[in-house]
Amino acid sequence: MARAKSPEKRQAILQAAAREIAASGLGASTAKIAKGADVAEGTLFTYFASKDELFNELYLELKGEVYRRINAEFPYKATLQVRARHVWTESLNWSIERPEERKASVQLGVSDVVTVATRERIGSQQRGAVEETLGEIAARGVFKDLPPGFAASAMGAMQDAVIDTVARKPRQKAVLVEKGFDAFWRMAK
Amino acid sequence: MARAKSPEKRQAILQAAAREIAASGLGASTAKIAKGADVAEGTLFTYFASKDELFNELYLELKGEVYRRINAEFPYKATLQVRARHVWTESLNWSIERPEERKASVQLGVSDVVTVATRERIGSQQRGAVEETLGEIAARGVFKDLPPGFAASAMGAMQDAVIDTVARKPRQKAVLVEKGFDAFWRMAK
Amino acid sequence: MARAKSPEKRQAILQAAAREIAASGLGASTAKIAKGADVAEGTLFTYFASKDELFNELYLELKGEVYRRINAEFPYKATLQVRARHVWTESLNWSIERPEERKASVQLGVSDVVTVATRERIGSQQRGAVEETLGEIAARGVFKDLPPGFAASAMGAMQDAVIDTVARKPRQKAVLVEKGFDAFWRMAK
Amino acid sequence: MARAKSPEKRQAILQAAAREIAASGLGASTAKIAKGADVAEGTLFTYFASKDELFNELYLELKGEVYRRINAEFPYKATLQVRARHVWTESLNWSIERPEERKASVQLGVSDVVTVATRERIGSQQRGAVEETLGEIAARGVFKDLPPGFAASAMGAMQDAVIDTVARKPRQKAVLVEKGFDAFWRMAK
DNA sequence: TATGAATGAGCGTTCATTCAT
DNA sequence: CATGAATGAACGCTCATTCAT
C-alpha cells in the first residue's frame, strides 16, 4: 500500500490555517497556510478538497476543542451556579490561552464560508451538558422574559468583554474571569 | 483650473464600500465599489489613496454616524439610567435599522486594516456625552471592581446579543431592545 | 477620457492565439498567448472576458477571413463550375498560405469550446454566394442522392486531402489545387 | 518473484484513455484515466512511462484495430472496386460503431503528441492489402495525375464527410456508407 | 508490482494600483 | 479632475510524475 495520510500533517495544516486566519483574516491564502504547515501547496488539497472545506473542518475542530474541554470534569451534580461558572471559566480560559484559535473561530463563525450543515454537526457531538446548563439559565432572571438563545448570546458577549479587557490587562486575568462571571450572573440570578 | 473634488462622490464611494463589504466581506474589490458608486475605477483613488485608507475612513464615518445619532437630543440632565438607556437605544437602533453599515462596521472593527490610529481618532471627535455616561456606569455595581473599559465592552457585547436575537425574531425588536437594556442594567445597578 | 482599447492589441492577441493553438492545441495557455502578443497577462482579459470567449472570437475571425476572401471578386454570373472552382481555390489558398490560422480553425471547429451560437453567427454575415453555390452542387451528380450538407463536407474533406499533399509537395501547389478540384468536380458532374 | 504485468490492466488503461480523450480531449488527466481503468494513479506509469507514451501506444492500438478489421476476410482475389469497397466499408463501420475510439484517434492524429516515429510504425505492421489496393487506385482516374498518397488522403477525407453526415442522420447509415463510396469511386474510375 | 500521498510548476482569472488620454 | 486600459503579482486549484510503503 502507498503511504498513509498522516494525521500529523492534517493537524499541522489546521493549525497553520488558524494561525493565518488570525493574522490576516479569511483572505489567508492556501499557499501561506501550506507553507506554514511545512507541506507543499498541493498537499493541502489532498487533505482538504478546497479552501472552504478546510475552513469548515477547522471550525468544527475549534468548536470541538472547547466542548471537549468543558465536558472534561463537568460537575454534573453541582448547583446551577457552579455548573455555569464551570462553562464560563473553561471556555473563557481556552479563548485566553489560545488567542489565535479563538480569533479564527470568531472570524469563521461570523462568515458564511461555514455552512449551516457544519454548524449543525457541532452540537450533536457532545453539546449536551452545556446546552442543558444554558437552558436552565435561560429560564431565570432577566432571561426569562427574553427568547431562548439570548442567554447563550449574552454569555458569549460578556466573555468577549472579558477577553477584550484581559488583552489590555493580562496580569489580572484570573480576577477578570471571576468577576466577569459575577457580572454575568447578576443577570441570571 | 481643476474641478473641485465632489463631496457627493466621496459619500457615494463610502456608501458603496459599506454595501459591498456587507455583501462580500473585506475582499470586496475596489472595482465593484467604484461601479457601485457609479464612478470610474480610477476615480476612487483620487478620493482615497488606497483601499486601506478608504476602509479606515469608512470605519470613522460609520462610528461617527452612531455618535452623531446619540448626541442629537441627548438628555444631558436626566438620571444616569435614562442617559444610559438613551445611549443603548440609539446605538442599537442604528445597528438594527442599517444592517449593512453595521455589518461593515463589525467586519472592519475585527480586522486589522483599521489601524490603531484610526481607532484613536474616533472618540476625540464627539465621544463626550457617551464617555461621561459610560464612566459613571463603570463606577457602579459589578463594574466598580472591574477595570475601566469593561463596562463599555460589556454594553457593546450585550448589544451584539440583542442584535443577534433581533435577527432571529425581528417582530420583537422593540421589546428586545428594552429588555436587553434591563438585563444590562442589572449589572450596573 | 481614458486610453481607448486598441484594435491593434486585439488583433495581436487573436493572432498570437492562432499561433499558439497551431503549436500546442487548445491547451495553449493564456499566459503564452499574452506574451506572444506582447501584452501583459491581465491585458488579455480586458479584451476577452475568458479564454473561451477569446477562442470563440478567434473562430469567428478566422471563418470571416475566408468568407471575405471568397466573396471578394466572386464571379456571380459565371457557370456553376467556374463559381465552384472560385470557392475551392480561394478557400484552399487561404488555408495553404496561412497554415497556422488553418490549423487553429480546424482545432477550434472540432472542439466544443466553440459554441453553437458562435457557429450560427458566422454565415449570417455573408455566407451568401458560397452557400448558393454549394446548394447547386448538392443537387447534382452523386450528391443528388445524398443529404444536403454532404457536398459541403465532401468539398472540405477533399480540400484537406489537397492540403495534406501540398504539405508534402509544396512545389506542386498550383497543380494540386487545380487537379484537386477536377477530382472533386468528377463527383458533382 | 515479481508479479507479471497484466495485459488486462494494460488494455483497461488504453480503453479508459480512449474514453477520456473522447470525453475531454487530450487534456484528459492521467488520474481520471487511471480511475476509469480501475487502477491506481501510479500503476498507469508502470505500464506507460509517460502520458505521451500512453497516447502514442493508444494511437497505434487504434490504428491497428482498423487494419486488423480490414484484413480479416479481405477479398484478395476480387476486382479492385470490390476490394476498395471492402476497405471503405470496414474502416468506415469501425469509425461509426466505435465513435469514442474514432474521436480519440482523430484528436491524436491531429495533435503532435503522436510522433513521426509512431506514425511510421503503423503500416509496417500489416498495412499490406490496404496499401496495395490504395496504390492501384492511385494509378487510375483523376488520381493518376496526382501524387501518390493523394488517393489515400482523399478516401480518408471522403470518409470524414460520410461520418459527419451519419452523425446528423444516423438512420441512413447504410445508404450513406454505400453512396459515399460511389461518390469516391467516381474519382477513381 | 501496486498503491496513492507528495510535490511544485503551471493553469485561468482577479485585483489594487498607475497613468495616458 | 475623471476615465478605464494596462499591469503583473497573487489567488485557488489541477496535474504529471515520483517514491515510500
pLDDT (tens place) for every residue of chain C, 189 residues total: 678 899 999 999 999 999 999 998 999 999 999 999 999 999 999 999 999 999 999 999 999 999 999 999 999 999 999 999 999 999 999 999 999 999 999 999 988 899 999 998 886 557 788 989 999 999 998 999 888 888 998 999 899 999 989 998 999 999 999 999 999 999 998
Nucleotide nearest C40 (Cα, C1'):
F7
**Nearest residue to F7 via alpha carbon and C1':** C40
Longest dimension (CA), chain A: 61
Residue–nucleotide distance: C42 CA to E18 C1' (Å)? 14
A5 to chain B, closest Cα gap in Å: 33
Q: How many CB atoms lie within 10 A of CB A77?
A: 7
* pLDDT tens string D113-164: 999 999 988 865 577 889 899 999 999 988 998 888 889 989 998 998 999 8
* Mean pLDDT for the stretch of residues D65-91: 95
Q: Look at A140-149, D46-55, D135-144, D172-181 and tell me which has the smallest mean pLDDT.
A: A140-149
Packed helices C51-71 and C99-110: angle between N→C axes, nearest 10 degrees: 120
pLDDT given at position C189: 85
Q: How confident is the model at residue B1 (pLDDT cuts 50, 70, 90)?
A: very low
Q: How many CB atoms lie within 10 A of CB C122?
A: 17
Residue–nucleotide distance: A32 CA to F19 C1' (Å)? 26
Domains and CATH numbers, chain B: 1-48 (1.10.10.60), 50-188 (1.10.357.10)
Residue–nucleotide distance: A30 CA to F11 C1' (Å)? 9
pLDDT given at position B43: 96
* pLDDT tens string B26-54: 999 999 999 999 999 999 999 999 999 99
Q: Which of C21, C26, C146 to mutate to test the interface with D (most CBs of D within 10 A)?
A: C146
Cβ pair B149:A143 closer than 8 A:
no
* Mean pLDDT for the stretch of residues A129-148: 90
pLDDT given at position D110: 84
For CA atoms C156, C160, C161, C167, the dihedral sign is positive
Which residues does chain C have within 8 Å of residue D187's beta carbon, measured at their own beta carbons?
183-184, 186-187
Q: Smallest Cβ distance to B176: which of A146, A157, A180? A: A146
The reply to whether C116 touches chain D by the CB within 8 Å rule is no
* Mean pLDDT for the stretch of residues A119-125: 75
Cβ pair B158:A160 closer than 8 A:
no
* Mean pLDDT for the stretch of residues A60-71: 94
Instruction: State chain A's mean pLDDT as an integer.
Output: 92
Which residue from D minimizes the CA distance to C160? D157
* pLDDT tens string C42-79: 999 999 999 999 999 999 999 999 999 999 999 999 99
The reply to whether D89 touches chain C by the CB within 8 Å rule is no
Neighbours of chain A (3+ CB pairs under 8 A): B
Q: Smallest Cβ distance to C161: which of D107, D150, D162? A: D150
Chains C and D touch (3+ CB pairs under 8 A): yes
Contacts of residue D165, defined as CB under 8 A and 6 or more positions apart, other chains included, come to: C146, C147, C149, C150, C153, D176, D180
Chains A and C touch (3+ CB pairs under 8 A): no
Residue–nucleotide distance: B30 CA to E18 C1' (Å)? 14
